[in-house]
Chain A
Amino acid sequence: MKRDNLLVAVPFGGRSAEHDVSVITALAAIIPPLRLLGHTVMPIYITKEGKWLTDPRLTEVKTYQSGVLEEIIEKAEPLRLELDGTFTIIQKKTRWKKAKRRIDLVFSALHGTYGEDGSLMGLLRMAGVPFVGCDMAASAVAMDKVLSKDVVRAQGLLTPEWISFSKVEWTQNPERILERLRKLGMPVFVKPAHLGSSIGITKVTKAAELGNAVDVALVYDNKCLVEKAVENLTEVTVPVIGNEDLELGLVEKPLNKGEFFDFDAKYLNGGKKGEGSEQGGGKKGGGKGAQGYSELPAMMPDGSTRGSRRGLYQECEEVAAKVYRAVGCQGIARIDLLVDGKAGKVYFNEVNPMPGSLYAHNFAAGGMSKVDLVGRLVELALERAEAEDSLERAFSTSYLRQF
């Protein structure tokens, strides 16, 4: 398999609440390093309406600040794919001329629905093109918070007590569900089961407020997750890369204390401020690391940190690696953990198969530059594709002749 000077398609944007974050991930963390590595980048911008298009100007930051984007969206022809056992993009060059460009690798920068949830990976698997990051199954598990908690608990790992139910169940019999919820004990977090960001998440301290919170969550999703809050909470996150052998980033602790932050604080500030939440949900947007938004590496409540011989820091690393393997992640993922400082327990919160800006700031603080990180991810993707290719998939049968 070719390894140098690849034609790499980078899809970003997308039909997701995290459209803009995805643009930042692509332009800041993926495309420049790919180019420095000598690969050719084909940006694929997916509009909020779901139209796919490409244009060289899409890799420039100023396109998104000047109104050029609107012009490109209006004028560009939608992308056409040719699926002949490869992933080939047909580009209209001029009125008469078309160019076929066979994609060697796809490096998705899509966050949230239709990108991070396994949908895109399904398409790419069908097309037979190698791609970076978690595969379809792991992505789907990670995107469903209930499912991922199930999977992780089955491995004997800790995760806060929870109850989940569908919108139908709630409308049919809210009283019975409220009854169960009250037994869980306050405070709790009420979350939509799927969305990656903090949209629709409420922290509930009084049982009387439960109904409202559930209604809010069910506006965004058909499935609702109610989770018991962890006490003496320290929230940390650990980015991990690898297929079989894992390389862990630093354990990072958001510094923003107080109520868990909402969507605005996290994203509208360019994902750089207010990095932090309280069991609130995913953290994307790539914090600024040591510049005051998060503690990197984290100093744990028991005083342990990177380089300590034994402590909560090391436990977090272990749990993160176990979760990564349990969910079946490959390439890259970020594991969010909740630490009860007094009890000395580490709970699993959620998995993020596509951390904002690849969490490059975290790896950089650990000594791995963006170029090294992206280069490693490309290698991991090619390794996986090679391993898959070596599997036997074609069987000759006589079924059809007997039919």
Chain B
Amino acid sequence: MEPEERKPSWWRKLSSHFRPGYLETLIYMAQITDYDTVEYWNYLARTKDFTEVMKRGSVDWTRKAKLLYIWMIFGVIMWVCLSLMVWLVAGWWTIALVVVAPLATPWLLQWWLWLVMVAGNLIVQKPVEWRALHRVRKDLMRNKAVKIAVLGSYGKTTTKSVLEEILGEGVKATPGNINQPLGFAKFISELDGTEKVLIFEFGEAKKGDIKRMARLVRPDYAIVTGVAEAHLERFGSLKNIISTFNEIRDFVPKNRLFLNMDNEVLAKQKGIGYSKLGIEGLHVRKVKLGAFETSFEVNKQRVTTGLIGEHNIGVVTLGMYLAEQLLGAKMSKKLIARVAGIKAFEHRLEPKIVHEALLIDDTYNGNLEGVRAGVNVVAALKKRGSFVNPAGEEVKLNRVICVTPGLVEQGTKMGSNNRAVGRLIGEVADAVVLMQNSVTGNIEQGLNDVKWSGELVISDNPLEFYENLTAMLARGDIMLLQNDWTDNYE
């Protein structure tokens, strides 16, 4: 497959506004940007050919989406009536209007949708939010549980889930990807007051977010899982990201602040460090990295976990440390069994056997650190020349295939970070599959930087590719699937 320049002709750009599916496309664009009035406009501005928009997904017809659709139909009818009325009242000379009015419709509809989004935000969303936050504050004041905040550019959900599993009963964590004050409201309303530990995932979208959430939750402990150039489009620079995370220091003292020292940025900061070497009092030795498990020795006891990759060792020891500190658990068989029970999380370095090949699904990772972690896992297996499947059979390595569409939301570092992706995967891959998009060239550059020479496939139909990718696998192959390319980026 040759990379194809996709520059839609002016006619295609224009005519794509006049398709029957246009209304649905607008709703989809609003939905995929979370009805954010600014992001919605940015997405519109980026979009040239509207037929390309819904190639990978479709509208989730929630109540909101349906209402918006009705609103849009109403808009079209209004516009037609208005045009006709003007024409009838003003007389035949306004016939030009009959021509101009339909032509302007698509652009007017973009505003029409934006208008209702803004109105909805002010009239419905804001008051509801304010009331919910008030309740959260009140409920949390009364709650006696130990509160832990989990924040960072990557690894939050994994950290939260690992802690939940190791700390066991009496621990509740914000579910799924809930990491905003409003999301906390529902979580808190479902607590029964007997919980010993509450874990909150703090999401950061802009400066001041961490402070706002910390003020609301008042955490006793905080964990910073890693700092990387994520959401650079909104933060501008790494410095801004670091200072946003440091907002937590006003609420949590440094002897209760845990930092992932595997991360270069955090390694220079003050707090209790955890890393692949362990944590205070829990020293890690004799690490074995497998395709389906990682095992290591802590204080002369062997610990095995279903999470793969060296970078997960730190968080596991942190969980064991907190179990000792908060719940008085000892390094017992029970604790080790809990760690052993942790399986890989969905789409996060999740190993599977397909056609006797090893497929490592890491599509939820969206940053360079994550790409590096995935590549490290594969590199370790490649060095050994084989992997052990769950049946215990040692399978000789055939090829390493890396599949990635590249990284999104890298701001001004879009080019250089994706070039770095190319350099990283170029170190291990025998074959590379890329999805045709704006960063494909950068990744190729990165591959050239390390003088990579292997089989390069560039797919221009990602949906079809992901559906059929197992057709590329044979016994002994390792396929590393990284990064998901959401629809609102081209």
Contacts and interface: CB of A to CB of B under 8 A. Distances in A.
Interface centre among B356, B461, B473, B477 (most CB of A within 10 A): B356
Given A32-B468, A36-B465, A364-B355, A369 B474 contact: yes
Interface centre among B357, B457, B464, B474 (most CB of A within 10 A): B474
Interface in A365-396: 365-372
Interface in A24-83: 32-33, 35-38
Given A36-B472, A38-B1, 9 more contacts: A36-B468, A36-B469, A38-B2, A361-B355, A364-B474, A365-B356, A365-B475, A368-B474, A370-B472
Contact of A369 (B1, B2, B459, B472): B472
Contact of A367 (B457, B464, B471, B474): B474
A289 B357 CA distance: 13
A215 to B, nearest CB: 44
A364 B475 contact: yes
Contacts of A372: 474
A135 B471 CA distance: 26
Interface in B387-437: 398
Nearest to A290: B356
Contacts of A361: 355
Q: How large is the interface on A (under 10, 10 to 19, 20 to 34, 35 or more residues)?
A: 20 to 34
Contacts of B474: 363-369, 372
B476 interface: yes
Interface residues of B, number: 21
A186 B117 CA distance: 84
Nearest to A361: B355
A366 B398 CA distance: 10
Contact of A36 (B2, B459, B477): B459
B402 to A, nearest CB: 15
Interface centre among A37, A363, A364, A372 (most CB of B within 10 A): A364
A179 interface: no
A381 B340 CA distance: 52
Contacts of B459: 36
A245 interface: no
B398 to A, nearest CB: 5
B414 to A, nearest CB: 27
SS class of chain A's interface: helix, strand, loop or mixed? helix
Nearest to B475: A365
A366 B356 CA distance: 10
A371 B477 CA distance: 13
Contacts of A84: none
A299 to B, nearest CB: 15
A370 B471 contact: yes
Interface centre among B357, B398, B459, B468 (most CB of A within 10 A): B468
Interface string B341-358: 000000000000001110
Nearest to B1: A38
Contacts of A32: 467-468, 471
A36 B356 contact: no
A147 to B, nearest CB: 35
Interface string B174-202: 00000000000000000000000000000
Given A4-B2, A38-B1, A290-B356, A367 B398 contact: yes
Contacts of B357: 364
A372 B474 CA distance: 9
20 contacts: A4-B1, A4-B2, A5-B2, A33-B471, A35-B464, A35-B468, A36-B459, A36-B468, A364-B355, A364-B475, A365-B356, A365-B474, A365-B475, A366-B474, A366-B475, A367-B474, A367-B477, A369-B474, A371-B471, A372-B474
Interface string B132-154: 00000000000000000000000
B115 to A, nearest CB: 39
